[in-house]
Amino acid sequence: MNVKIYHNPRCSKSREVLKLLQAQGIQAEIIEYLKTPPSIEELTDIIQKLGIKPRGLMRTNEPEYKENILDDVDLSDADLITAMHKMPRLIERPIVVANGKAAIGRPAENVLAIL
């Protein structure tokens, strides 16, 4: 099984999901998304797999969200995805992709549904 985790090692929730995967015997491909941001295409694919709108994947409490006026309802989905690509701190974490599906690991047990 091919499993990816978009991971931030400084985030306790992200570390918790990684431990959960390892406890399941899963060797996930770890993508430190702050160092290697997902492409616009990858973000679009993740959002589709999650079945949400782009704003649902955004950390709205990050300073970048407010500084860049990303709460503007007139911004398109493409605008929001581009913002997450350029400012990956805006991306909610952790995200696990497996079996053609995706899950946000908040709570960590959410990822079990796609394994």
Write out the catalytic residue numbers: 11
The token pair that represents 8 in the structure block? 């931030």
Spatial contact of 7 and 86, defined as CB atoms under 8 Å apart = no
| Residues with Cβ within 8 Å of residue 34, at least 6 apart in sequence | 8, 88, 89
Regarding beta strands 95-98 and 3-7, do their DSSP bridges make them parallel or antiparallel, or are they unpaired? antiparallel
